[in-house]
Amino acid sequence: MTNITPNDTICAIATAPGCGGIAVARISGPEAIAITNKLWKGTDLDKVKSHTAHLGYIIDPSSHQILDQALATVFRAPHSYTGENVVELSIHGSTWIQQELLRILIDSGARMAQPGEFTRRAFTSGQLDLTEAEAVADLIASSSAASHRVAMNQMRGRFSQRLDTLRDSMLKLSALLELELDFSEEDVEFASRTELKKLAEEIYQELHRLTASFATGAAIKDGIPVAIVGATNAGKSTLLNTLLGEDRAIVSDIRGTTRDIIEDTITIHGTLYRIIDTAGLRTTADIIESLGIERAMARIKQARIIIWVIDPNDTDTINDTATQINRAKTDDARTIIAINKTDISGTDINPHLPADMDATCLRISAATGKGIEQLKETIHSLSGAAGIDENTVMVTNARHYQSLTTAKDCITRVIEGLDANLSCDFIAQDLRETLHHLGSITGTVTTPDILTHIFSHFCIGK
Ligand SMILES: Nc1nc2c(ncn2[C@@H]2O[C@H](COP(=O)(O)OP(=O)(O)OP(=O)(O)O)[C@@H](O)[C@H]2O)c(=O)[nH]1
Ligand SMILES: [Mg+2]
C-alpha cells in the first residue's frame, strides 16, 4: 500500500467481486457526501441525518444518463466504521453498473481504495485497535463456528482487554521499580524483591498461557490437522471414507494401496478438522511407496492429532510403527489408537501395545461405522477446541505470537535480573522492552511498514 494520503476520499465495491442481486459501494473521507451528491438525484445528502437511508438515482455527470436506482446510506464522522464521513451505495449487482459507478466516483474526485484501507482508517482514527482490525479480516475468512467465534471474541476486544490487564500489571511493576530507583539513596521502604518477582512471574504465566494457545488457535483458523497413520491394510483409507461420509480414497486388500496424501475436512461440533489419510508404514523397495511413506512421516510431524489404526490380527510391526510415530510427532500432538476391524476380530483380541505410547485407545470398525461417533468425540475433546465460548481468548495470529514470545523472553530476563539482585535500571530497561512488544500487538507502538504489511492482506472494500 503506497502513496497513502490519509485525508482524501476513497471508494471501492465492498461486496464480493462478480454479479449479484445487490452490490454495495463504499465511499469514505471528508468529501464522501459531497462527491456522492455530484452523481445523486434525490434528497440532498448534505442535509440528511447520519445513519439514514435514501432512495434515489445515480446519474453519470458527464452524459446525464441514469446509471441505476440506488439506496444511499449516510454515516457522518465520527460515527462510522472508518470514523470519517461514509456513504454506502446499494446498487443493482451488475458488474457493468459496479464498474461504471467506480468510474463516475473517481471522475467526481474519489480515489480507488487500497486493500484494507477502510479498516486502516478505522485503526488510524481510533475506532479499532490493531488486533480488532485484524479480527475483521479473520471474521471475513472464518469458515467454521469455532473460527468465527474466536475472531468475533477478538473483534469485540476480548484479546485487547487481556493485553490491557497485562499492561496494567507491567506498569505497576515498572512503577515499583522506578520508585526504588528514585529513592535508592534514601531510607524509604520499597516493595520487596520477592514481591516484585511474584508480580513478574504472574506476568510471565499470563504470557505463557497466551503463547501456548497459539498452536490450537492457529489450527482452528485453518482446520485442525488429524493424521490417520498405521501399517498397510489396517483400514486407514476405509476410516477416512467413513469419517467423511463419502468414497474419497481407494480401499483394497492389497498392501500399499494408498501412496499419496489424501485430505479433506469435516466439522465436529462447529470445529473444522483436516482429516489426512497417509500411506501405510512399512519397509518397502518400491520407490513411489517410499516417497508416500516419507510424506506420511511429514504429516505426522504437522498433526495435532494422530489416529493410529491397528488391525488386531496383523500386529507384527506394531513396535516399529510405534517407534516411527513417536519419533515423528511433536510433543503437543495427541495420539488415539483405533483398534479396527472389530466386526470380524471380535472384542477379545487385545493387541499388545507398546508401554511408552501415551494414547487414548478405542475399538472401532471403519467398515461398519461402529465406534466412529465416539472417535469423533475423542478427536474433539483432545483437540483443545472443545469449550470455546464467548470468553475464550486465543492467539490465532502469527504476528501476535511473535510479539508475545519476545515479550516472554524479556520478562524472563526481568525475573533473572531480580533473582541476581541486579540494579533497578537494568531490570527497568528489560521491562520497558516487554511493554514495547506488548504495545506492538494492539498498535500503540507501530510503524507504517507493519501497518502496510497487515492491511495489504485485506480485501479491497474492507
Ligand atoms: N472387516 C473389516 N474390514 C475392513 C475394515 N476396515 C478396512 N477393512 C478392509 O481392510 C482392507 C484394507 O483397507 P484399507 O482402508 O485400504 O487399508 P489402508 O490402511 O488404507 O491400507 P494401505 O493404503 O495399503 O496402507 C480392505 O479390504 C478393507 O475393506 C473393518 O473395519 N472391518
Ligand atoms: Mg489406504
Is residue 19 domain-shared with residue 123, that is, in the same domain? yes
Is residue 258 domain-shared with residue 348, that is, in the same domain? yes
Task: Specify the 3-state DSSP secondary structure of 417.
Answer: helix
Give the pLDDT score at 182. 67
- For residue range 426-458, what is the model confidence (pLDDT) as tens digits? 888 899 999 999 998 988 777 777 778 778 777
pLDDT exceeds cutoff 90 at 222: no
Is residue 379 domain-shared with residue 438, that is, in the same domain? no
Q: How far is the CA of 302 from the centre of ligand 1 (A)?
A: 24
- For residue range 396-425, what is the model confidence (pLDDT) as tens digits? 898 999 999 999 999 999 999 999 988 888
pLDDT mean over 338-347: 86
Q: Which of 59-68, 146-155, 380-389 has the highest mean pLDDT?
A: 59-68
Output the nine-digit C-alpha cell for 162: 487481556
Residues with CB under 6 A from ligand 1: 232-238, 251-253, 255-258, 279-280, 340-341, 343-344, 365-367
Task: Tell me the torsion sign for CA atoms 77, 80, 84, 87.
Answer: negative
Is residue 15 domain-shared with residue 107, that is, in the same domain? yes
Task: Specify the 3-state DSSP secondary structure of 166.
Answer: helix
Q: How far is the CA of 365 from the centre of ligand 1 (A)?
A: 10
End-to-end Cα, the chain, rounded Å = 14
124, amino acid identity: T
Q: Does 457 fall in a domain?
A: no
- For residue range 368-384, what is the model confidence (pLDDT) as tens digits? 999 999 999 999 999 98
Is residue 206 domain-shared with residue 239, that is, in the same domain? no
Instruction: Tell me the best of 233, 236, 313, 341 to mutate to test the pocket of ligand 1, counting ligand atoms within 8 Å of each CB and taking the most.
Output: 233
Question: Domain limits at 159?
Answer: 137-213+395-443
pLDDT mean over 39-48: 97
Is residue 119 domain-shared with residue 204, that is, in the same domain? no
- Ligand 1 atom at shortest distance from the alpha carbon of 309: 19
Give the pLDDT score at 193. 79
- Of the chain, the percentage scoring pLDDT greater than 90 comes to 64
Strand 305-310 to 334-339 pairing: parallel
Give the pLDDT score at 3. 43
Question: Residue whose CA is closest, atom 24 of ligand 1?
Answer: 256
Q: How far is the CA of 366 from the centre of ligand 1 (A)?
A: 8
| Cross-strand pairs, 23 | 91
pLDDT exceeds cutoff 50 at 218: yes
pLDDT exceeds cutoff 90 at 360: yes
Higher pLDDT, 397 or 89: 89
Q: Does 93 fall in a domain?
A: yes
Is residue 96 domain-shared with residue 21, that is, in the same domain? yes
Q: How many domains does the chain have?
A: 3
Q: Does 427 fall in a domain?
A: yes
pLDDT mean over 302-329: 92
Q: Does 455 fall in a domain?
A: no
Is residue 72 domain-shared with residue 118, that is, in the same domain? yes
Instruction: Tell me the best of 229, 238, 288 to mutate to test the pocket of ligand 1, counting ligand atoms within 8 Å of each CB and taking the most.
Output: 238
Is residue 303 domain-shared with residue 275, that is, in the same domain? yes
The gap from C-alpha 51 to its chain's centroid, in whole angstroms, comes to: 32
Q: Does 388 fall in a domain?
A: no
- For residue range 175-200, what is the model confidence (pLDDT) as tens digits? 888 777 666 665 555 667 788 899 99
CATH of the domain at 41: 3.30.1360.120
Q: Does 235 fall in a domain?
A: yes
Question: Residue whose CA is closest, atom 14 of ligand 1?
Answer: 235
- For residue range 266-292, what is the model confidence (pLDDT) as tens digits? 999 999 999 999 999 988 888 998 899
pLDDT exceeds cutoff 50 at 1: no
Q: How far is the CA of 226 from the centre of ligand 1 (A)?
A: 19
Is residue 118 domain-shared with residue 243, that is, in the same domain? no
- For residue range 135-185, what is the model confidence (pLDDT) as tens digits? 988 998 898 989 999 999 888 888 999 999 998 998 888 888 877 766 666
Is residue 249 domain-shared with residue 341, that is, in the same domain? yes
pLDDT exceeds cutoff 60 at 241: yes
Give the pLDDT score at 387. 80
pLDDT exceeds cutoff 90 at 459: no
Lowest mean pLDDT across 100-104, 309-313, 448-452: 448-452
CATH of the domain at 180: 1.20.120.430
Q: Does 389 fall in a domain?
A: no
If you ran DSSP here, which 8-state letter would residue 192 be given? P
CATH of the domain at 242: 3.40.50.300
